[in-house]
């Protein structure tokens, strides 16, 4: 019995010595000599990775590295022309590491990785707009897929910047980014797709984003939150970086200048991604925009843009991806349109508050039958007159047919002065008690019924050379030809206008209104 016990103890001692020997080998040779080579020299990515501290635990099968620096290998030969990713990371924790893979391959395999406080700068290859699928696949996912394979990634408190290569000005900057991805899969086929990896669930938050897509505009946001089936964005801005004069000098033909702010944007029951054929889909039950403040400016003195302007049917029908928004809701908003026709101030129209509900905003992508798009608008025209409109169209109607029915009530005509005085050098007085319109149309034009009930209407026309002085002759002529009232009843007229195809839907709509006013009042 003692002999067997002695053999067992000897065997156990030998085993213990082997384990200790392996541990010493692992710690003093492999960790100090081999692991740095795997991470740095022998990694098959185009990046060098260095770190200050490295701790490997056999007991918990984990690796933790701190004060990490990542640079492209090419930068060592060319320090002037920067391309690719440069990063510093406070620490990286790799959990449930496969020791077998760690020792016998040049790739780390683990269940998860946690990246703390990364500061990442990506230098674009050229000045062209970034191709997100190719850049993410080639510059980010594929290189690190050659270093480490994990099923979950957590990135905490990161900052990301994408710079233009020539002037190193930011194209994109995201602050305090937090990401969680679970169920990650990467393979050669996946790397060729729009999203170069697969995942089961995701969560993303970010304190702010700055994005400059071109020389004219920038996009800026406050906090962003999205998780699997919802998306919320605060304090969105889409603003022009040029003043109006500079913008107009910079364009060859007429173009709208936009300045838009949105207090909150949210998408409910969101589902998005790419199918196996790489076609994109975006589905949401409700998209809501709260407190939009939109100003649109156009200088009509520029050369006309003679390209055809598509109606909304065609714009949605020709989208190259599957879009499905069941309800679009714009609430408590302000819409302004300004148009410059001369050297004085632009004419200005305003709708405040402005509320819109649109149903069935679907693209025509791979669709054979779709419900009508229904758009309901409630607003106050020039801040005072209740306006309602019911607008209907079908995306698959290749004639681009539509019907729009609506009304304006109790509008004091003098409130139109911010538009009429700069635009036609005239100011009106009186009240439009009721205005009704029912127009049907398509890509060729519009026709329908226009009606108005008005009281005590008159116009004052001003001199061209001195816009503050009344032109008595023209004012008197206007008084002769303009009928002052509608005899306390709604007067109706049938209108028909031809669409100028280089102009927008709204140009055709306002032409229809103007045609009705002319027929009734003159």
Parent domain of 103: 35-212
Confidence of residue 195 (pLDDT cuts 50, 70, 90): low
Query: What's the pLDDT score for residue 369?
Result: 96
Cα–Cα distance measured from residue 30 to residue 43, given in angstroms and rounded to the nearest whole number: 16
Q: How far is it, in rounded angstroms, from Cα 230 to Cα 205?
A: 12
Shared-domain flag, residues 357 and 407:
no
Whether residue 433 sits in one domain with residue 325: no
Together in a domain, 307 and 451 = no
Question: Does residue 2 belong to any structural domain of this protein?
Answer: no
Split at pLDDT 50, 70, 90, the class of 197 is low
330 and 349 inside one domain: yes
Domain count of the chain?
Answer: 3
Label residue 119 exposed, middle or buried (CB < 10 Å: 0-12, 13-18, 19+): middle
pLDDT at 213 over 70: yes
- Rounded CA gap, 212 and 384, in Å? 37
Predicted pLDDT of residue 139: 53
pLDDT at 145 over 60: no
Asked whether residue 375 carries a pLDDT value surpassing 90, the answer given is yes
Establish how many alpha carbons lie within 13 A of residue 281's alpha carbon, considering only the half-sphere containing its beta carbon.
13
- Is there a single domain that holds both residue 299 and residue 432? no
Q: Which pLDDT tens digit goes with each residue over 393-437? A: 999 999 999 999 999 999 999 999 888 888 788 888 999 999 999
Residue 324 falls within a domain, yes or no?
A: yes
More confident residue, 497 or 463: 497
Q: In sequence order, what are the residues at sequence separation of 6 or more whose Cβ sits closer than 8 angstroms to the Cβ of residue 372?
A: 360, 392, 393, 394
Shared-domain flag, residues 201 and 276? no
Mean predicted lDDT score pLDDT of the chain: 83
Q: Is residue 242 part of a domain?
A: no
Do β-strands 373-381 and 347-362 pair in parallel, antiparallel, or remain unpaired? antiparallel
Of 369, 395, 421, the position where a domain reaches its end is: 395
Q: What is the mean pLDDT of residues 245-261?
A: 96
So what's the pLDDT on residue 277? 80
Of 56-70, 90-104, 399-413, 466-480, the range with the lowest mean pLDDT is 90-104
- Domain membership of residue 455 (yes or no) is yes
Instruction: Tell me the range of 106-115, 269-278, 444-453 where mean pLDDT is highest.
Output: 444-453
More confident of the two residues 121 and 471: 121
Question: 207 with 355, same domain?
Answer: no
Q: Is the same domain home to 484 and 415?
A: yes
Q: Is 419 in the same domain as 348?
A: no
Instruction: Encode pLDDT of 488-506 as tens digits.
Output: 788 999 999 999 999 999 9
Please give the model's pTM, rounded to 2 decimal places.
0.85
| 245 part of a folded domain | no
Indicate the residue among 341, 369, 395 that finishes a domain: 395
Residue 178 within a domain: yes
Check whether 82 has a pLDDT greater than 80.
Answer: no
Domain co-membership, 93 together with 207: yes
What would the 3-class secondary structure string for 140-179 be?
Answer: HHHHHHCCEECCEEEEEEEEEEEECCCCCCEEEEEEEEEE
According to DSSP, the β-strands at 152-163 and 112-123 are: parallel
Q: CA-CA distance, 191 to 138, in Å (whole number)? A: 8
């Amino acid at each position: 019995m003692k002999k067997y016990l002695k053999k067992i103890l000897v065997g156990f001692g030998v085993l213990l010595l082997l384990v200790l020997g392996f541990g010493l080998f692992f710690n003093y040779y492999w960790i100090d000599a081999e692991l740095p080579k795997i991470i740095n020299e022998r990694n098959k990515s185009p990046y060098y990775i260095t770190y200050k501290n490295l701790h490997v635990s056999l007991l918990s099968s984990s690796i933790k590295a701190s004060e990490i620096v990542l640079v492209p290998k090419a930068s060592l030969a060319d320090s002037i022309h920067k391309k690719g990713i440069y990063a510093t990371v406070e620490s990286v924790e790799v959990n449930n590491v496969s020791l077998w893979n760690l020792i016998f391959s040049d790739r780390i395999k683990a269940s998860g990785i946690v990246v703390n406080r990364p500061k990442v700068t990506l230098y674009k290859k050229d000045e062209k707009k970034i191709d997100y699928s190719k850049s993410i696949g080639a510059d980010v996912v594929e290189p690190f897929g050659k270093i480490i394979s994990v099923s979950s990634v957590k990135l905490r408190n990161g900052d990301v910047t994408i710079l233009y290569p020539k002037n190193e000005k930011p194209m994109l900057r995201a602050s305090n980014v937090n990401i969680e991805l679970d169920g990650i899969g990467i393979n050669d086929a996946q790397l060729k797709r729009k999203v170069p990896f697969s995942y089961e669930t995701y969560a993303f938050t970010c304190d702010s984003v700055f994005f400059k897509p071109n020389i004219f505009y920038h996009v800026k946001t406050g906090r962003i939150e999205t998780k699997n089936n919802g998306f919320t964005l605060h304090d969105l801005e889409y603003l022009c970086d040029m003043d109006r004069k500079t913008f107009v000098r910079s364009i060859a033909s007429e173009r709208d200048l936009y300045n838009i702010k949105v207090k909150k944007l949210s998408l409910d029951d969101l589902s998005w991604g790419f199918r196996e054929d790489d076609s994109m889909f975006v589905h949401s039950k409700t998209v809501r925009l709260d407190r939009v403040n939109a100003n649109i400016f156009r200088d009509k003195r520029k050369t006309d843009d003679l390209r055809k302007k598509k109606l909304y049917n065609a714009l949605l029908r020709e989208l190259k991806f599957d879009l499905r928004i069941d309800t679009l809701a714009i609430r408590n908003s302000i819409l302004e349109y300004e148009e410059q026709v001369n050297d004085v101030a632009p004419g200005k129209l305003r709708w405040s508050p402005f509320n819109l509900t649109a149903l069935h905003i679907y693209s025509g992508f791979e669709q054979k039958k779709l419900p009508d798009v229904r758009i309901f608008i409630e607003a106050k025209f020039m801040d005072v007159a209740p306006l309602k409109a019911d607008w209907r169209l079908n995306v698959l109607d290749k004639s681009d047919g539509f019907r729009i029915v609506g009304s304006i009530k109790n509008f004091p005509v003098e409130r139109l002065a911010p538009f009429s005085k700069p635009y036609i050098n005239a100011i009106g007085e009186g009240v439009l008690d009721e205005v009704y319109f029912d127009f049907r149309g398509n890509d060729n034009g519009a026709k329908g019924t226009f009606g108005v009930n008005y009281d005590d209407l008159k116009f004052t026309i001003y001199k061209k050379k001195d816009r503050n002085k009344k032109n008595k002759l023209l004012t008197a002529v206007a008084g002769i030809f303009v009928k002052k009232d509608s005899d306390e009843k709604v007067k109706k007229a049938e209108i028909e206008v031809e669409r100028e195809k280089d102009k927008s839907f709204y140009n055709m709509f306002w032409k229809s209104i103007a045609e009705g006013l002319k027929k009734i009042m003159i």
